[in-house]
A and B are shown apart, each in its own frame.
Chain A
Amino acid sequence: MKFNLKVWRQKNAKADGRLVDYTIDNINVDMSFLEMVDVLNDELIRKGEDPIAFDHDCREGICGMCSMYIDGRAHGPHHAATTCQLYMRTFKDGDTIYVEPFKAKAFPIIKDLAVDRSAFDRIIAAGGFVSVNTGQAQDANSLPVEKEAAEKAMDAAACIGCGACVAACPNSAAMLFVSAKISQLAMLPQGGPERKNRAIKMVEQMDAEGFGNCTNIGACEAECPKEIKLTNIARMNREYLAATIIDE
Chain B
Amino acid sequence: MAYTALFKSSIGKKLLMGLTGLFLITFLLVHASINAMIWFQDGGVTFNKWAHFMGSNLIIRTMEWGLFFGLILHVVDGLMLYAQNRAARPVKYAYNRAGDNSSWYSRSMALLGTLILLFLILHLAHFWVKTRITGIEKYGLDTENQENLFAVMQEVFRSGLVVAIYVAGCFSLFWHLLHGFKSAFQSLGLNHVKYNETIAVIGIAFSIIVPFVFAMMPISMHFGLVR
Residues of A at under 8 Å CB distance from B?
6, 8, 17, 19, 69, 71-73, 77, 98, 100, 103-106, 168, 170-173, 175, 200, 203-204, 206-207, 210-219, 222-223, 230-231, 233-238, 240-241, 243-245, 247
Contact = CB atoms under 8 A, between A and B. Distances in A.
Interface in B168-189: 179, 182-183, 186-189
B138 interface: no
A241 B96 CA distance: 34
Contacts of B85: 170-173, 212-213, 215
Contacts of B107: 170, 217
B84 A244 contact: no
Interface in B95-139: 95-98, 100-103, 106-107, 109
A171 B88 contact: yes
B177 to A, nearest CB: 14
Interface string B71-91: 000000000010011011111
Interface stretch (B9-17, B24-32, B38-46, B152-160): B9-17
B90 to A, nearest CB: 6
Contacts of B189: 234-235, 237-238, 241
Nearest to A106: B88
Contacts of B84: 212-213
Contact of B89 (A77, A105, A200): A105
| A interface: dominant SS | mixed
Given A105-B89, A215-B85, A234 B95 contact: no
B209 interface: no
A230 B96 contact: no
A201 to B, nearest CB: 11
11 contacts: A17-B91, A105-B89, A170-B102, A173-B85, A212-B85, A213-B13, A213-B84, A215-B14, A216-B186, A222-B100, A241-B11
A207 B9 contact: yes
Contacts of B15: 237, 241
Given A72-B95, A244-B1, A214 B100 contact: no
Given A200-B1, A240-B11, A231 B95 contact: no
Interface in B209-223: none
Contacts of A240: 9, 11
Nearest to A107: B89
Contacts of A247: 1
Which of B9, B13, B81, B89 is the most central at the interface, judged by chain A CB atoms within 10 Å of its CB?
Answer: B89
B192 to A, nearest CB: 8
Contacts of B190: 234
Residue from A104, A212, A233 whose CB has the most chain B CB atoms within 10 Å? A212
Contact of B109 (A72, A215, A230): A215
B14 A73 contact: no
Nearest to A77: B100
Nearest to A216: B183
Contact of B100 (A6, A69, A73, A216): A73
B5 interface: yes
Contacts of B194: none
